[in-house]
Chains A and B, each alone.
Chain A
Amino acid sequence: MWRIAGHLTRGLAMIWAVTTFTFVLIRLMPGDPVQVQYERLIAQGMTPDQAESATAITYGFVPHGPMWKQYLEYMWGLAHLDLGVSVESQGVPVADRVFGALPWTVLLVLSGILISFLIGVVLGVVAAMRRSTMVGHGLSIAGSLLHGVPPFVIGIVLAALFTRRWRWFPSGGHFNGDEVSPGFYYDFIGDVAYHAVLPAASFAVASYGGWLLAMRSSVASVLGDDFLLAAELRGLRPFMRFRYLARNAILPLFTVLAISFGLVFGGSIFIERIFNYPGLGMLLYQSIGARDFSMMSGAFLLITAAVIVANILADVLYTVIDPRVRRQA
C-alpha cells in the first residue's frame, strides 16, 4: 500500500513538473505563441476582447496579466482535465484528440512489449539451458545482434521492405474504413491487427534481444541457487523444478519491464510517424510541426501519465508475485 502511495506521489510530482515545464515553455518560447495567436486573431478581424477570450480557451489562461495568475488558471484547467483547444484545428478540444489517440498507441506499445517479452523470455530460457550447445550460442548471438538498435531504425527497414518493396502490409491508418466499420467482431479486429502488425513488430524486433539476454543471465544465476539442487534432491518432478526456476528467474525482469514501457512510449513518436499510424506519438509529431502548443502539451502530458501508470502497474505485478515484497507492504 505504501509503495503505491509513494508511486502516486512521485507520479503526481512528475506530472506537475512536466506541466509546469510546458507552461513555461509556451510562455517563454521565442516568438511567444500565445501572443502570436492573439495578434493573428486580431488580424483576422476579431476585436481584442474576442481574440483574448479565444486565446484563453486555446491555452487555458488569459494571455495578458500577471504570470502567476496565468499559471494558476492553467493548472486549474488541467485539474479538470481541460487541456484547452487545438490551435491548428480551431475549436477541437485537445482532450478529445489526445484521449482518442491514446488507445491506439497503448495497443501498439502493449502488443509490442508483450510479444517481445514473451519471445525473449522463452528464447532466453532455452539459451540458458542449452548454454554450451550450438543452439545456445546461436540464440545469444541472435539476441545481441539487434540489441541496442533503436526501434525506429527497425521500423524504417520494415516499412521499406513490407509496405514499399512488397506491399504486404498497409502503409498507414488504424483500419480500412472502407471495408470494415468499428465493432467487436472478427473482421474488424483482424483488420486492426493487420494495421498494427508492423509498428508493433518494430518494437518487438528491437527489444526481444534485450529480454533474451536478461532472461538468459537470470536463468543462469538461478540455476546455481541451492533451492533448485534441494528440489532435485527431494525428487521433485522436472516440470515442477522448471516452474520454480522460471518464476524465480523472471522476477527481476519485471522491474526492467516498467522502464521499457517508458522507453517504448517515447519511441512511439518515431514509429507512428514511420508507419503513418495515427496515435499519440503521431499527434505529438504533427503538433510540433504545426507549432500547435496546446496540443503538444496535452499529448506530452498524456504520454507522461501513461508512463507513470505503467510503472505503477509493473510494481503492482511485482508485488503480486514476490512474497518478500508482498508481506512487507
Chain B
Amino acid sequence: MNMGVTIAGLTVTYGDLPAVKDVSLRLEDGTITGLVGESGSGKSTLALSLLGHGNIASGSVFIDGVGDMSKMDKGALRAVRGAKIGYVFQAAQNSLNPLLTVGKQLLDLAKSHGVRDVRGAHPLLRRMGLDPDRVLNSYQHELSGGMRQRVGIMFALVLNAHVLVLDEPTTALDMITQANILQIVREVHADRGLTTLIVTHDVGVVAEVASRVAVMYGGRIVECGSTKEVLANPRHPYTRGLINAIPRLTGPVDVAKPLPGTPPTLGTIPAVGCVFRARCPIRMDVCSAQEPEMIDDVACHAVGVTAK
C-alpha cells in the first residue's frame, strides 16, 4: 500500500497566533522522517495536524489513498484516526484511561471502528517483548514507562494503520529503554512498511532511526533532507547550532556548545523577517526585513548568498 503524506502550505493557529506557519513537507512512503527542534518550535502542533487535529487555518495535509485531513468532517476524521494513522504520545503523558484495563480499552477501540477481531494485539505485543495476557489485564499505573510506550505503539498499529506518528517517544525514559523503544520503532516500521514521523528534540534520536530529517524553528521548517547529509553537512545556522550542542561521549566536554538564547514563544515569534535572526551568529540586514524562502531544502538568506 502506498501511503506517503504531503503537507502543503500548512498554517496551524492557537487563537490568532500561528504555531505552525506555511509548512510544506513530504513524508515519503516507507521512510522514517525525524522532526527535530527545541521545545516550543511547533513540532507537536505539526504532528497533531497530521491527524487533522488543531485549528488548521490554511494549507493541506494529504495522506495518499485517504484524503486531505484538513478538509474532512468529524465522522470521516474519526474513521481515519486509529485505523489508517496512529499516534503515539510521550511515555510520561498518560495516554490511557486510568480506570480501565488495557484490554478493555482495546475492545473500545475495536468497537469504535467496527472491528471484531483484535487478536492482532497479541503478536504485536509479543513482538515488542511483552507478555500479551499480562499487559491486557493491567491498568496504566501497573506498567513501566517502557511498557506504556510499547502499549501506545500497539494501540497505534493494532488496526493496521500505515502512517505512524510518534511524539517524543523516548523522552523521559532511561537510556536502555530509549534504545529499546527506538529498536522497536525501527523493526515494526520495517515489518509493516510504514510511513513514520518521529518527533524529537534530540538530534541523537534522529541520527539513530530516521532516514530523513526536518528541522523546525519558530513554527517553520528551516531545513530538511536526508539525515546523513543534513547531519554531516548542516547548512542552516540553527541546524548547526543543534548539532554543535550535542555532547559527545568521546573527546572533551567543552566541545559541546549549547545554543545561546532561548527559542521564541508564540507571542514573540517575529512577524516579519527570519524567525531565527535574534539568535543567529551570521545574521545580515536582509534577515530582519524579509523572511527567507525555502530554496533547495533550506530557508536561510546566508545560504542563498553563498550559493549565488
Contact = CB atoms under 8 A, between A and B. Distances in A.
Interface in B88-118: 89, 93-101, 108-109, 111-113
Contact of A251 (B82, B99, B109, B155): B99
A248 B97 contact: yes
Interface in A208-246: 225-227, 229-237, 240, 244
A322 interface: yes
The bracket for how many chain B residues form the interface is 20 to 34
Contact of A226 (B53, B94, B111, B141): B94
B233 to A, nearest CB: 36
A238 to B, nearest CB: 8
Nearest to A324: B141
B83 to A, nearest CB: 6
Interface in A259-274: none
B80 interface: yes
Contacts of B53: 229, 232-233
A225 B111 CA distance: 23
Contacts of A229: 53
Contact of B139 (A225, A236, A247, A323): A323
Q: Which one of A233, A237, A323, A327 has the highest number of Cβ atoms from chain B below 10 Å of its Cβ?
A: A233
Contact of B155 (A234, A240, A244): A234
A321 interface: yes
B282 to A, nearest CB: 40
B87 A240 contact: no
A327 B139 contact: yes
Contacts of B98: 227, 248, 323-324
Contacts of B97: 227, 231, 244, 248
Interface string A171-186: 0000000000000000
Contacts of A230: 87, 89, 95-96
Max chain B Cβ within 10 angstroms of own Cβ: one of A226, A231, A322: A231
Q: Is the interface of A mostly helix, strand, loop or mixed?
A: helix
Interface in B261-302: none
B112 A234 contact: yes
Contacts of B101: 323
Nearest to A326: B139
Contact of A234 (B48, B81, B100): B81
Contacts of A227: 94-98
Contacts of A231: 97
Contacts of A324: 98, 139, 141
A327 B140 CA distance: 12
A264 B156 CA distance: 48
B78 interface: yes
Contacts of A232: 53, 81
A235 B99 contact: no
A248 B141 CA distance: 15
A231 B112 CA distance: 10
Interface in A135-179: none
A226 B99 contact: no
B112 A237 contact: yes
A321 B83 CA distance: 30
Nearest to A228: B97
B20 interface: no
A135 B87 CA distance: 35
B94 A235 contact: no
B172 interface: no
B142 interface: yes
B48 to A, nearest CB: 8
Interface string B143-185: 0000000000001100000000000000000000000000000
Contacts of B94: 225-227
Contacts of A235: 77-83, 109, 112-113
Nearest to A233: B87
30 contacts: A226-B89, A226-B94, A227-B94, A227-B96, A230-B96, A231-B97, A232-B53, A233-B48, A233-B53, A233-B81, A234-B81, A234-B109, A234-B112, A234-B155, A235-B79, A235-B80, A235-B109, A235-B112, A236-B78, A236-B108, A237-B78, A244-B97, A247-B99, A248-B97, A323-B98, A323-B101, A324-B98, A324-B139, A324-B141, A327-B139
Report, nearest first, the 6 A-B pairs whose CB atoms are least far apart.
A235-B82, A230-B95, A235-B81, A234-B82, A226-B93, A233-B87
Given A234-B82, A235-B81, 12 more contacts: A227-B95, A227-B96, A230-B96, A232-B81, A234-B109, A235-B79, A235-B80, A235-B82, A237-B112, A248-B97, A321-B99, A327-B142
